[in-house]
Amino acid sequence: MVKAVLGFSKKTKEEKIQWLADTYLANDATAVSTLSQYWNSNPKLQKLHDDFIENTITNYYLPFGIAPNFLINDQLYTLPMVIEESSVVAAASNAAKFWLDKGGFKAEVISTIKNGQVHINYFGTSALILNFFSEVKALLIASISSIEENMKKRGGGLLEISLVNSSEKLEGYYQLHCTFETKDAMGANFINTCLEEIAKTFENLAKEHQAFKDSSSFPEIALSILSNYVPECLVRAKVECPVSQLSTSEIEGQLFADKFLRAIDIAKTEPRRAVTHNKGIMNGIDALVLATGNDFRAVEAGVHAYASKEGHYSSLTHATIEDGIFTFWIEIPLALGTVGGLTSLHPLVKFALSILQKPSAAQLMQIVAVAGLAQNFAAIRSLVTTGIQKGHMKMHLMNILNQMDANPSEKEKTVEHFKSHTITHSAVVDFVDQLR
């Protein structure tokens, strides 16, 4: 039976790996060498990665690809994409090329307001806490003046603070709802530091306040944290063209547009489809969010909450055909940063931001929204014409061949054969077996 290990974080990397090998891998030397293969030969770079998290034992590679030809607001971009799924970069590139001669993508930031809350337990009379808040509001704001100093110089900082009475939803529940502008920073650390200071000041002032000394109840801080739901940090991206320009050798424009709109309507109606539809959008978004060192979990959580804003989970993209014009757009909340966090630490993140011509956070919001829209366009286009598997399996073929350790000649013959045959895992295995 495995015994709990104490003081693990204090062990050296080698000791941690040895413990792992002894405890779970029957001291398997190949497991240990697999880990060391992925260490970086540059000790400085390895140390940087070691220090990102606790108990690092090795690095985990994901492919870093690029998708060129994205015309966004009349500027050409090449998108850096970090993703393991075979067909995502190819799909992005196809969509970019499709829209290149049709005016490209147009994107605009609607607003950039972030938010966070100090959640409060208070079971007394609501008039008391509301009056108290009005009295101390200026002191709460003043308490973060030194924390805000640098952010203010950059044009950001706390925008507003209000006391929200949520006690009808949950007994004794109030919150200080705070809004922030964080400019090019994602702002999580800044917001959380401000909130914790505001919370401390609020509690200290409440402790000394006569109103609560006389009452039986006293406000207590439950927790203080930013919200990853950022519906006021919103971006929109769209593509538009005459329906006739949608015609390809595969399908006539009007038929394609009708099928496309039907696919969107299905995703708006049926949450089971909407989740997969939006997952495809996130294929593009996450790949860019990861490449640029942003927090994809925060983005995921916020985007999916937004997809439910009407009370049921629905499509993040929309399409219309009006006066012969096909319009397809996305509107999503995105809290992104191009300074702070990993952006100045991780060499590949710096590289990704350089490819994008060092965008502001607002520009990055637009580019990321476009990546989501493009990915969704490519997916729906396949789904309503050839089906998804044709393109997907074509890209996945190399994974199957690599799994089988195929040599270059086997790979070449297999790729050639499957240009005219349906790719399935077993068909590829049978074909390679026959070659051998």
Does residue 13 bind ligand MEV (CB under 6 A)?
no
Does residue 388 bind ligand MEV (CB under 6 A)?
yes
Closest CA to 102 of 254, 246, 241, 236: 241
Of the candidates 279, 350, 394, 411, the residue annotated as catalytic is: 279
Residues that contact ligand MEV, how many (by CB under 6 A): 9
Q: What percent of the chain is helix, strand and coil (3-state, nearest 5)?
A: 50, 20, 30
Residue nearest to ligand MEV (CB): 280
Does residue 277 bind ligand MEV (CB under 6 A)?
yes
Of the candidates 50, 181, 196, 295, the residue annotated as catalytic is: 295
Least distance from C-beta 388 to ligand MEV, angstroms?
Answer: 5
Closest CA to 265 of 328, 188, 318, 216: 318
Please identify, among the stretches 34-42, 107-115, 185-193, 275-283, the one whose residues bind ligand MEV according to the rule CB under 6 A: 275-283
Lookup: tokens for 291: 């490449």
Query: Annotated catalytic, 392?
Result: yes
Closest CA to 332 of 372, 385, 364, 294: 372
Least distance from C-beta 247 to ligand MEV, angstroms?
Answer: 22
Please identify, among the stretches 3-11, 166-174, 274-282, 347-355, the one whose residues bind ligand MEV according to the rule CB under 6 A: 274-282
Q: Which of 276, 308, 327, 402 binds ligand MEV (CB under 6 A)?
A: 276
Lookup: tokens for 304: 């999916």
Give the span between the Cα atoms of 225 and 222, in whole angstroms.
Answer: 10
CB closer to ligand MEV out of 147 and 275: 275
What are the φ and ψ backbone dihedral angles of 229, each rounded to 5 degrees?
A: -90, 110
Closest CA to 337 of 358, 323, 311, 315: 358
- Look up residue 413 and give its amino acid: K
Least distance from C-beta 311 to ligand MEV, angstroms?
Answer: 22
In 38-187, where does DSSP find H-type helix?
43-50, 88-100, 126-143, 145-153
Lookup: tokens for 115: 């938010």
Query: Annotated catalytic, 417?
Result: no
Neighbours of 422 (CB within 10 A): 9
Site for ligand MEV in 279-318 (CB under 6 A): 279-280, 283
x/- mask, ligand MEV, residues 83-102, rule CB under 6 A, reads --x-----------------
Active-site positions read 85, 279, 295, 392
For ligand MEV, the binding residues (CB under 6 A) are: 85, 276-277, 279-280, 283, 379, 383, 388
